[in-house]
Structure 1
Amino acid sequence: MLTYIFLIILVVSLANKTTDGNKNIFILGGQSNMSGRGGVVNNIFDGFIPPECQSNSSILRLTKGLTWEEAKEPIHQDIDFYAICGIGPGMSFANFVLKNDPNIGVIGLVPCAVGATNISQWSQGSIFYNQMLNRTRVALQGDGMLRALLWYQGETDTLNDDAKLYKLRLYKFFTDVRNDLNTPSLPIIQVALASKFGPYTEEIRQVQLETQLQNVKTVDANGLKVGPDFVHLSTPSEVQLGQMLANAFLGFGSAHNLL
């Protein structure tokens, strides 16, 4: 009888977790290194989940069907469905934030990244942009609080001299997202590229590292190990990147409450 009562309490508790409106919402945007290719070799995910990326009842993710569920790797599996997803930085980020700010409450991850997308494909009004905004607005229903946009994108833009327009397009993207979500001070944490994917990598990295917008931080992935394809971060690197993103977010202090 006591076991039965315990099971009922557990089910109710989990249900409250997935419907509780007091969620800290984080958008995960960009391309493949955000959606995650850690542990993917020859289009096969090895299934290894590092301890830093394990599921936690206080970490939820918004599914493709716009419902909440307990997050588990690969968290972009139904969003970036053009390729096989593996480990990304999202779960490591969330677990590290919880570890260092145990009073933060429930974290709601909103995966939106899509591999091989250039910055123009994220321009205001585009399919991916509209999908990201729609998913975020659904996530915010029920008193959810938008805490930050985590952004890792740019490899595709290193391939040609269109890179000279990257700064203008990136700044406009960040500004448009803030305006359309009515969060003018939204913290944004972007990643400066790790891989030397194309001939204009340094031009893109320079824009990322020198971004001069309020409440925008850049973490530098340079030096993180990439996998056999020389583009995608390895599983340990994705874990480390997630913790770097978490440290950057926690570094905002009280600033991330001023939305």
Structure 2
Amino acid sequence: MLPLLFLGLLAHACLVRPQQLQPKNIFILAGQSNMAGRGGVVNNTWDGIVPSQCQPNPSILRLSANLTWVLAQEPLHADIDTKMITGVGPGMAFANVVLAKDPTFGVIGLVPCAIGGTAISQWGRGTSLYKRLVRRAQAALQDGGTIQALLWYQGEADTVSKEAADSYGAKLESFFVDVREDLKSPMLPIIQVALASGSVPFVDTVREGQLGIDLLELRTVDAKGLQLESDGIHLTTQAQVQLGEIMADTFLQLLPSTNGPILSPIPSSAPRRAIGYVTWICRVIIKHLNYLT
């Protein structure tokens, strides 16, 4: 009886643990409420509806608040964005599409970091949110794996004033450069979302800041036009699924196996050039020179 019980436990462990022990393809999910997920949340209540595109998959894990890998399931940010009610976000749809379109991709590790209502100034280097993002990203690498991309959706909080909107683009670019530097990945792919909502008229200013950033391996997808909840701010569940699918297709374009040129989903009048990488190198050199002097 005991040997049979032991074999049963061993078999169960073999079914569960290999995914958690494999090196992971890690994605950082950061920003504010639309990344944290408010799909299906009405009057501070989540309807609990999880679409088929967001169902759990044994090959999709989530780094919990206590830095352990668990099976990923909605809401992804339930133990991260704890001051608000969370619902469906783009993360699960993103991961499921990546695996469906590239079955050889391997285990995906999602690292939720988004917090609702946060402005870009709260994400600058040295802030608590920034330090937690870096700490969680580094913890995700402890048992192997590679950070494949930063998925970023934020900006609504910066549409409330002209001053915040005017300075948004420069602060966002600095954030992207700093994250790449501190994660020691100067060409880390970044997929950001251009706003779907915000305070008029400054939402257009923030969108201009988002679309005006010219860094290598940065792609921007547009949420404008996707359906919003009744609050006029947050994406509906179906819109979050659509966004996740678009972000997944955008990421897959960045993989080396992709045939043909890599194009930004949003046309830009600014040429895509190496200035982003050169800027990063110059900043690193200047910081080290200042330190030495």
TM superposition score normalised by structure 1: 0.94
Q: CA deviation at 1:82?
A: 1.2
Q: Which residue of 1 aligns with 2:13?
A: 11
Q: Which residue of 1 aligns with 2:28?
A: 27
Q: Which residue of 1 aligns with 2:95?
A: 94
Q: Which residue of 1 aligns with 2:189?
A: 187
Q: Which residue of 1 aligns with 2:81?
A: 80
Q: Which residue of 2 aligns with 1:223?
A: 225
**Secondary structure, aligned partner of 1:208:** helix
- Between the two structures, name the one with larger relative contact order (CA 8 Å, sep ≥ 6): 1
Q: Which residue of 2 aligns with 1:176?
A: 178
82-91 or 138-147, which deviates more = 138-147
Instruction: Show CA shifts across 1:122-155 (max 9, x none).
Output: 0001000000000000001122101000000000
Q: Which residue of 2 aligns with 1:247?
A: 249
Matched, 1:115 2:116: yes
8 Å contact kept, 1:35–1:111: yes
8 Å contact kept, 1:39–1:46: yes
CA distance in 2, matches of 1:36, 1:157: 18
8 Å contact kept, 2:160–2:198: no
Instruction: Give the share of equivalent positions with the same residue, in percent.
Output: 51
Q: CA deviation at 1:4?
A: 8.7
CA distance in 1, matches of 2:144, 2:9: 28
Q: Which residue of 1 aligns with 2:204?
A: 202
CA distance in 2, matches of 1:216, 1:76: 24
8 Å contact kept, 1:19–1:68: no
The one-letter code sitting in structure 2 at the alignment partner of 1:150 is L
Q: CA deviation at 1:209?
A: 1.9
Q: CA deviation at 1:56?
A: 0.3
CA distance in 2, matches of 1:210, 1:33: 21
Matches within 5 A, 1:101-180: 101-161=102-162, 162-180=164-182
Instruction: Show CA shifts across 1:193-231 (max 9, x none).
Output: 011434300011112123211110000001000001000
CA distance in 2, matches of 1:168, 1:184: 18
Q: Which residue of 1 aligns with 2:274?
A: none
Q: CA deviation at 1:11?
A: 2.8
The one-letter code sitting in structure 2 at the alignment partner of 1:174 is F
Q: CA deviation at 1:46?
A: 0.5
161-170 or 182-191, which deviates more = 161-170
8 Å contact kept, 2:157–2:198: no
User: RMSD of the alignment, in Å?
Assistant: 1.8
Runs (5+) with no aligned partner, structure 2: 259-293
CA distance in 2, matches of 1:158, 1:49: 30
Q: Which residue of 2 aligns with 1:57?
A: 58
Q: Which residue of 2 aligns with 1:37?
A: 38
CA distance in 1, matches of 2:132, 2:200: 28
The one-letter code sitting in structure 2 at the alignment partner of 1:232 is H
CA distance in 1, matches of 2:26, 2:8: 30
The one-letter code sitting in structure 1 at the alignment partner of 2:51 is P
199-208 or 227-236, which deviates more = 199-208
8 Å contact kept, 2:169–2:212: no
Aligned pairs, number: 255
Runs (5+) with no aligned partner, structure 1: none
After TM superposition, where is structure 1 displaced by more than 3 Å over at least 4 residues in a row? Answer: 1-8
**Secondary structure, aligned partner of 1:148:** strand
Larger radius of gyration: 2
TM superposition score normalised by structure 2: 0.84
